[in-house]
Structures are given as structure tokens and as C-alpha cells.
Structure 1
Amino acid sequence: MSTDAGAGRARFRPFHLYFYVLMGAFALAAVGAFAWIVNSSLKTDVEFIGSPPFSTTTSWQFGNYAQAWEAGGVGAFFGNSVLVAVSATVLGVFFSVLAAYPLARIRFRGSSLVLSGFLMGLMVPWMVTFIPLYLTLRDLGLLDSRLGLVLVYATYNLPFNIFVMVGFMRTLPVELEEAAAVDGAGPSATFFRVIMPLLGPGVAAITIISFLNNWNEFFYALVLIHSEDRMTLPVGIWQLSQAATYGSNWVTLFAAMLIAVAPVLLVFAFLQKRITEGLTAGALKG
């Protein structure tokens, strides 16, 4: 009985212990850094500069968060990030699902080449596309605009989203579409009434990952947005870091960092299972 119970379990090997220790060290370092930022964000600037780096705060300045939100401009940066990240995520996921359906479910000449073309987008570094993209947005009058940033983010995530959704859609039984065709449903009705309700885990996975990518993206937001009132949160925090370097306003920076990371932690904490289901579903096709 014990043999059967352990039949599906991998044997423990000595190098596994090194792997666990290494991963544990990385996790401990990440948790320690996060705790240090939380502790530092509750200090005054005088206490932060004058006390030892790892000393526990004694002032508990929760007003630092309000100061970062209002005086530091984090509120405006936060609103821009929400607008850009949500809009780009919805737009990118919508077109990804529409593009993945014919590639996964409809056989046509050249479908594999089309899919390969999308997948090649995963291998193209941003340095190659940045200058043409910048010039295109300038010619279209979308430079230094939130709309231009939304379009960039939406297309930036398309290759990965299509790759995931094609793998997920191929796990769905073909008999569903055959039954819908027998009932007289056309391709559009079949997609929206039969296939779309079954795409929940896959759509949830690419939605969450796209949102996290859009929320944390820094480079394109830095070079494509010039007006301060249109800047997103990563660029705004970078500006606060410059102010902290030359003005010693460190506690506002740490408070802003925690405000920025809070939505990411909440989304990932509550929807981690959805991400795993959506990304692994395509691998179960056998």
C-alpha cells in the first residue's frame, strides 16, 4: 500500500535539498526587502536618515501614504496607470481571443505560418521595434498620449496571449462545434454562444498576466509620455526616486512604492489559481 502511495511521487535526491535552500533564500530575501520598505515608509525623514537602516520605526507615520498620494502626485499617476492598464488589457485580450479562434479551430492553408508569425513576436526584442514604433506614433499624432500608450501595450501582449489561447482552445472537444452546426448555428454564433463561455480559465490567465505587465511597464511609458499629468505610476515613482536622491525625501518614495505594488499583490494573491489553470490547460492536450 505504501508502494502504491509513493508510486507517483518523485524520489528525493540530495540536489533537491540545495534547490530548496536556494529558493528559500530567495524567498527570505524578497520578504525581508518588502518588510524593510514597509518599516521605512512609516518613519520620518529625520528618523530614516539618522537611525540604523534596520531599526524598527518608533513614529509610525501613516500620514506618509496620504502625503505620497496627494503632494507626491501618486494619486494622478495611479489614475493614469489604471486607465492605461485596464484599457490595454481589455483591448489586447479581446483581439487575442478573436485571433486565436480561427488558428486553433479552423483549418485553412497557411494557418501554421500565421501562428508562427505571431510566435516570432515573442522573440523580437523591444530594442528592434522601438524606433519604428516611436516614429509611427509621432506621425499619427499619438505621441505623449494615453491612447498611444494603450495601443502599444495592447499589441505588446498579443503574441503571448494568442499563444496561450490557441493552446487552450485546442483542448476543447470538437463535438461541441459539430453539435452547434447540426442545430443550425453559424461560426459567429458557435463562437460566442458555445466556445466563449468555456474560455474562462484561459481568458482569466491572459487577462491577469497582461494587466500585471501593463501595470509594471516602465520603458515605453518613460519615452513615449512627456507630460507629467499623463505619466503612469512606474514613471512617477522613478521621478520620486530622483527627488529622494537629491532632496532626501525617502519615506514618500517608500510609501509610493507600497501603493504601487498593492494592486499587483492583491490581483496575484486572489487569482493565482486562475493563472495556473489557464497556462497549464494547453499542456494537458494529449
Structure 2
Amino acid sequence: MSAVLDDRGLRTGDGPGVTGGRRLRRRLPWWLLVLGLAVVAFLWVYPFIWMVSASLKSSSEIFAGGLSLIPEALQWDNYTRAWDDGNFRVYLANTVLVTVSTVVIVVVRCALAGYVLGRYRFPGSRLVVGILIATLFVPTGYTIIPIVKMSLELGILDQHSGMVLALAGGANVASILIYAGYFRGLPDELEEAAIVDGAGFLRTFTHIMLPLSMPVTATVAILTFLATWNAFFLPLVFSFSNPDLRTVSVGMQAFVGENSTDWPGMAAAGVISLLPIVVLFAFMQRYFVEGIAGAVKS
């Protein structure tokens, strides 16, 4: 006898066990995908978890414990040694000052450049974009000599201002293109209404366009923050003659001695240096994703 279908499309002869088995088979690929992604995520964050664990261990336990994540006894003095003896309280303050200043300069400069390239067509605009893209292939090492020479001539080689200008003076092509892509997708009626109201270029930019680009601004700020916070080469050169100007990335070298390395202290310093980045990204990840999606969509 052929089975009769009920209103839900199930055969009347099927019991709850058969229906549950079919539902499980339909969901099985989804559960396998979740399990696979969970394993990949754990492998991705494992180095950070291990560093946090190593920052609470002794040197002998780090080498004897291998990949173990549970310390035998919590060594909180590693953080005290990194903060005081390693001078990370000064390095962290230097990094915050340099990073925040660099982010402000880069955001303002890239927003203005992206607004012009995204909203205006002028002779040579495509050439400008081509030159900006070409600078992506120029290694940092080729620009360090003129940067140091100019900073030396200006007398700012051993100052925070020199480090900030050196870090903020790059092309920042990705940030400019993100802004340009976002501004290009905004409707022309916004500018036309501003012109009717008597607004000029700067007023239109600061009162209308820039507030609308807050997701992109958050994206550029995060990207610049990460790049500046983790910068090593330029801060090393600018703090070579003045160790008090070191940032956290350069300050890591303080734990490396001629005959030994303070691995627990270095791990504790690494956790201290990464904690602000994790907190920042946790609060701003939504704006980061929105900014990238808006720029790509435009």
C-alpha cells in the first residue's frame, strides 16, 4: 500500500524516530562544519593562549611543560618585572602617544584625499591613483634613509614628533582607496543640497561627508592603530639614541640578554602590549566589518 502524505509533507506511516533520523542526517553536514571551524579557531588562537599561560610560568616550567597551558603555580611577578624592571610602563605610554597621534593624522589626511579622489574628476586623477598603487610595491627599507635624513635636518630624529611624522607620512594607499570607494557610492544630492545652502568644500566635508563615513573611519583607525602599534623598524631607528622613546615592540628587546633570555618576562610584556589591541577590536569590530563591506560594495 502506498504511503499517504499528511499536511506537513510527511508520510503517515513514518514514526517520530524516522523523522528525527532524517532531520539529523540533514543537519549532520552543518555540525561537521561547525566542528571544523571550532578546531581551526582553536589552532588560530592557541599561540595567544599559550603566551598568556607562559607569562604566568617560570623559565624552567616553560621549557619542561612543552605545550601545556596550565601553570603549576601562578607567577604574577613576571608582570611586575616587565612593568617596572622592563620599563614597559614608559614604553606603553610612548606607544599610546605615538599611535593615537598617528591615527589622527592618517585619518584626516586619508579622508580628505579619499574624498577628492572619490567625488571629483580632474585631469590626472587616474595617474594619481596609479602612483598611489605603485607605492605599495616599494619596500620600507628604501624609504628609511631619506626619512632619517629629513628628520635629522629638522632636528626631530630623537623626538616623539619625528616618530609620529615618520609613521604617519606613508602613502596609506589602502586607507585612501577605502575612503574613495565609500565616498564614490554616496548620492550626489547630498553635495548639491549643501551647495544650495551655501556650504563650501571644507564645510561639506566636515559637516556632511565625514560624519557619514564613520564606519570607514573606524576601519581606517583600526588598521592604522594595528600597523602603528606593531611597528618596529621606524621606532627602532628613532629611539636608537634615546631609549626612553622606545615603543612596546622595540622594548621587547630588553628581555634578550647576551647569554640568556627572560622568556616569562617577555611573554608578560607581550600580553601587556596585545591587551589594548584586543580590547579595541572587541569594541570596534562591528564598525570595522561595516566599513570594509561598504567600501567593497561601493
On whether the aligned pair clears a TM of 0.5, the verdict is yes
1:235 aligns with 2:260: no
TM-superposed CA distance for 1:26, in Å, is 5.4
Structure 1 residues 232 and 248: alpha-carbon distance in aligned structure 2, compared to 1, 3 A threshold: closer
Considering only CA atoms, is the larger Rg found in Structure 1 or Structure 2?
2
The answer on whether the counterparts of 1:77 and 1:232 sit within 8 Å (CA) in structure 2 is yes
- Aligned residue in 1 for 2:8: none
Other-structure match for 1:166 = 180
Counterparts of 2:149 and 2:283 in 1: how far apart (Å)? 40
Q: Is the 8 A contact 1:118 1:162 kept in 2?
A: no
Give the match for residue 282 of structure 1. 295
- Superposed, 1:204-243 pairs within 5 Å as 204-226=218-240, 227-240=242-255, 242-243=256-257
Normalized against structure 2, the TM-score is what?
Answer: 0.81
State the distance in 1 between where 2:131 and 2:225 align.
24
**Aligned-partner residue type, residue 200 of structure 1:** M
Q: Provide the rounded CA distance (Å) in 1 between the counterparts of 2:292 and 2:203.
A: 26
Moved more, 98-107 or 202-211: 98-107
Percent identity, aligned pairs only, is: 36
List gaps (5 residues or longer) in structure 2.
1-31
Does 2:113 correspond to 1:61?
no
State the partner residue of 2:57.
43
**Mapped partners of 1:123, 1:29: distance in 2:** 32
Per-residue deviation at 1:24?
Answer: 6.4
2:126 paired with 1:112:
yes
Contact map agreement 1:170 1:282 (CA 8 A) in 2: no
Paired position in structure 2 for 1:130 = 144
Distance of 1:32 and 1:180 partners within structure 2: 52
Gap runs ≥5 in structure 1: 1-16
SS at match of 2:292: helix
Quick check: 2:102–2:164 contact (8 Å CA) kept in 1?
yes
The answer on 1:247 being equivalent to 2:247 is no
Out of 157, 166, 169, the position equivalent to 1:152 is 166
Aligned partners of 1:160 and 1:117: how far apart in 2?
Answer: 13
What is the distance in 1 between the residues matched to 2:171 and 2:293?
18
How many residues of Structure 1 are paired with residues of Structure 2 in the alignment?
Answer: 265
Q: Is the 8 A contact 1:119 1:163 kept in 2?
A: no
